[in-house]
Each structure stands twice: as C-alpha cells, then as structure tokens.
Structure 1
Amino acid sequence: MYWNEFALVALVHLLAVVSPGPDFAVVIRNSVSAGHRAGLYTAIGVGSAIFLHVTYSLLGIGLIVSQSVWLFNLLKLVAGAYLLYIGFRALRAQPASADQQVSKQRSMSAAQAFRQGFITNGLNPKATLFFLSLFTVVISHDTPLLVQAGYGVYTAVATGAWFCLVALLFSRDAVRRGFHRMGHWFDRMMGGVLIALGLHLALSQWFKRG
C-alpha cells in the first residue's frame, strides 16, 4: 500500500545523500588519512545521526526549529564553527615521512571517528530542512507513524551504507597511495573544503539578506 510513497522517499533520499557536502568531505578525509576503520566508523556516525533527525521530525521539533529564525541561525553558527574547527586542524598538517604516515593512520580511534561523523551530520542544518520537508511534504500525514518510522530507519541505514562504500573506496591502498603522494597538501585541501562549508553554513543568512 505504501510502496509508491516509499519509492519516492528512497529516490529523494538518494539524490540528497550522494550530493557532496560536509558528511562526504569528513568521510573522505578520515578514510584517506586514517584508514578504512576510521572511515567506516565515521560513516556509521553519519548514519546514526540520521536517527536524531528522524526523531525530532516525527516529534515536530524540526518544525519549531525551522520557524524560529534565531534558533535556526544559531544551529547554523554551531555547525559552521564545528566544521571550521576540523578544517583549521587539517590546515595545520605538516609533511610526514612514510613511517610517520603509517603512525598517523592509526592515530584516530573508533570513538573519535564516530563522533566526528555524528556531530557533522547532526549539526547540519541542511539535514534539518531535508527531513522536515521529507516528513511534511513527501510523506503523507495519513501514513501511520510506524510506517513513517520505518522510512526513517531506511534513510539511516541507507545513509550509513552509502558512506561505508565511500569509506571503503577512498581507503583502498591504490587510492590512498595516490593521495599520500600529495602528503600534507591533501589534508590542507580537505581542510579548505571544510572551512568553506563551515563559512557557508555560518554566513548563509547574511548572504540571503544581501
């Protein structure tokens, strides 16, 4: 009965999850610099944060946030500040020898990787808007709450699976060797991307006013 609606939810989610953004940048950076284990835990953190968005969307908190300008702008500032923090740390990367690179690969714990993925997605205001629109526009109000929760579980699992694939791809030895030839410049490049994303989130409300 709800297969057509589920197919629409899956399509909209697919288009959203494959588009590059903070989650994509963090998963790639951790996969390349710290290996597949860190990349996978980062991906799992991103997927787990989806449950946060689904929960407040079902409870209606997302609607409150979206209609409170100051609260939504505060969320943008916090998310932007976190991305700036990660980005500036990456910009400080220094050249390393092969032995140091091996040591660096093991420097990120599973908890650190998971936390980065969870916070990056959890604080992303674009995810707030996406799930708010998903549960108010795409999904019918007549759809039972249990079915809506099932859609939420699907989006969380699908998001985690997608970023696990990204992590496995970018942590492959051949891919990592290619990135490691750039050494610290790769970290600095990804740091620049994260800083740009952070500034975009933090300053987007002023851009709209202009």
Structure 2
Amino acid sequence: MADYLPEFFTLALAHALAVASPGPDFAIVLRQSLHHGRRTALWTSVGIGCGLSIHITYCLLGLGLFLKNSPAALLTVQALGAAYLAWIGLQALQARPRSGDIDLAGGPAEPSARAAWTTGFLVNLLNPKAALFFIALFPLAVSATTPRLVQVGYGVWMTVTTVAWFSFVSVVFARESVRRAFLRHGHWIDRALGVVFLGFAVSLALASLG
C-alpha cells in the first residue's frame, strides 16, 4: 500500500483545496444552517457527499471520458445545473423579515431529512465544475495500473471527508448565537446568498455558451 501513498496524498490535497473553496456546496450548507438549523444542514451535507460519490463512481468506471468528450452531454449537465442553482437563488431572494418571537427549533416549513438530502445531492450532482474536477483529476493523479480496490478507497476517503467538512460547517453556523442573529436580520443574508446562487447559475450558463 505504501506504493500508492504519493497518489493518495496528491488526490487528498487537491480534493481538500477544492472542498474548502467557496462554491455552491458551501453556499447551500451555509443557507441551510442559518435558515433551518443543524439537522437540515447535516442531512444536506450527507446529500453533497452522495452526489460527490456519483462523480467519483463514473470516473472510476471510465464514463468520465465520455462526458469529457461529449459536448452535448456536458452542455446538458451545465444547463440543468444552471437552472437548478437559479431556482434556489430565486427562492432565497424572496426571503421576508421574520416577525414575533425568534424560534430556534428550525423555523417554519423546515424541510424533511429526505428533502434536505435531495437538495445537497442535486446541488453537487448538477455542478459541472465538480464533474470536471474529477474528470481532470483522476487521469492525472491516478495511474492506470492502480488496483481498482485502491481507487475505490480513494473515492471513499474523499466522500467521507467531504461529508465531515460540511458537517463541521453545519455545526459552526447552526450555533444558537449565530442563528439567533441571523433570524433577526437573516432576510438580508438570505437575499445575498440568492444573489450568489444566481451568480453561479449565470457563470455556468456563460460557460455553456462559450
């Protein structure tokens, strides 16, 4: 196994930098933490990890090369991703100020665990930048002679660490003091995040046109 440590460290470092950088995944976990609380944000984090595992799986199966070499397939993914992120952004822009007592129990219309998971899953799965990251990373960092079981181990590591990172983000931003301040003035933060999501959507749309 020591022979594959350089590969592993290369993948782990590249993945860590990608996960920690601000993007749609971070933005949705931040919004879920502040808007609905820790439970919803944690389920969203698990959904993000599951979406990531799909990208890893098709790269391991060699389907990533098909997506890379198929402009029509990549354009479809970009269009779906842009539409979904735009929808989330428009939802966030409609946030209204809260009135009355501040309720930290999750607030009105708290999504179910399944709905929160689905949100995280789709945000990651429909993010072409996530797809392209793994399509480009695996051929460069992983040798064709690396055993499939070792490659699966790489994928499990990246999936688990992704869930762990966003779970940490969930816990930090779902703290009572943070959420209480958000729930008093959170419609402005929610609207700002809406602009961020629309920015991601426009970026994907422009990339698909280019």
Report the TM-score, using the length of structure 2 for normalisation. 0.93
56, 59, 62: which is aligned to 2:61?
Answer: 59
Q: What is the percent sequence identity of the aligned residues?
A: 45
Letter in 1 for 2:87: Y
Q: Which piece of structure 1 moves more, 99-108 or 118-127?
A: 99-108
Matched-pair contact (CA < 8 Å) for 1:180–1:186: no
Equivalent pair of 1:33/1:105 in contact (CA under 8 Å): no
Query: Which residue of structure 2 aligns with residue 111 of structure 1?
Result: 114
* Aligned-pair CA distance for 1:108: 1.6
Indicate the residue corresponding to 1:92 in structure 2.
94
Q: Does 1:184 align with 2:187?
A: yes
* Structure 1 unaligned residues grouped into runs of 5+: none
1:145 matched residue in structure 2: 148
Offset, 1:63: 1.0
**CA separation in 1, counterparts of 2:146 and 2:39?**
38
Q: Secondary structure of 1:181's partner?
A: helix
Q: Deviations over 1:75-132 (max 9, x none)?
A: 1010010011111011111111244755626622111111000000011111111111
Where do 1:35-74 residues align within 5 Å? 35-74=37-76
Give the letter for the 2:79 counterpart. Answer: L
Query: In the alignment, which residue of structure 1 is the partner of 2:164?
Result: 161
Match of 1:79 in 2: 81
**What is the TM-score of this pair, normalised by structure 1?**
0.93
- Contact 1:35 1:105 (C-alpha < 8 Å) held by counterparts: no
Contact 1:77 1:201 in 2 (8 A): yes
Structure 2 residue 123 is matched with structure 1 residue 123: no
1:165-198 deviation line (CA, Å, top 9, x unaligned): 0111110111112322323112111111111111
Q: Tell me, what secondary structure is at the counterpart of 2:136? A: helix
2 CA distance for matches of 1:109 and 1:17?
25
Alpha-carbon separation, structure 2, partners of 1:155 and 1:201 = 24
Question: Against the structure 1 CA distance between its residues 115 and 35, is the aligned structure 2 distance closer, same or farther, given a 3 Å change threshold?
Answer: same
Aligned-pair Cα RMSD in Å: 1.5
Instruction: Give the partner amino acid of 1:130.
Output: F
Code of the aligned partner of 1:156: T
Mean CA deviation greater in 149-158 or 180-189: 180-189
- How many angstroms apart in 2 are the aligned matches of 1:163 and 1:107? 19
Unaligned runs of 5+ in 2: none
How many residues in Structure 1 have an aligned counterpart in Structure 2? 207
Range with bigger deviation, 130-139 or 105-114: 105-114
Q: Which amino acid aligns with 1:30?
A: Q
2:178 paired residue number: 175
Q: 1:105 to 1:28 in 2, by over 3 A?
A: farther
Greater shift after overlay, 161-170 or 185-194?
Answer: 185-194
Aligned twin of 2:34: 32
Change in Cα spacing, 1:187 to 1:174, as seen in structure 2 (3 Å) is same
Residue identity opposite 1:34 in structure 2: H
Distance in 2, matches of 1:137 and 1:42, equals 30
